[in-house]
Amino acid sequence: MKIYNQTFENFNKNYIGCATMAVIGQSCLGAVAAMCVLSNGTSLGQMVQLTIIVFANMFANTSILAQMSHKTVFNIIISTVFFSTLFIIINNI
């Protein structure tokens, strides 16, 4: 919890710069996850994974543009990075 709180304080202090970098970073990570999913075919399972990745990334970008609270944006970005990383790992095993 200490790492989470320190990271959030840093994010909150430098919100504009961190949000900008988060959009770029999580969008690129989502693109890599989508590429990994699609490299394994286009079955129903792959399409469900792709849908989750796309909606998570769209929701993160939208939350920043909609000027939601900083804590909400931070949590959504963390969940997006988690899902993208999870699907990268799942599809490369």
For 56-73, the DSSP string reads HHHHHHHHHHTT--HHHH
pLDDT of the residue at 2:
92
Three-class DSSP category at 39: coil
Residue 15 above 90 pLDDT? Answer: yes
Kindly indicate the confidence band of residue 38, based on its pLDDT and cuts at 50, 70 and 90: very high
What is the pLDDT averaged over residues 10-25? Answer: 94
- Is the pTM above the cut of 0.85? yes
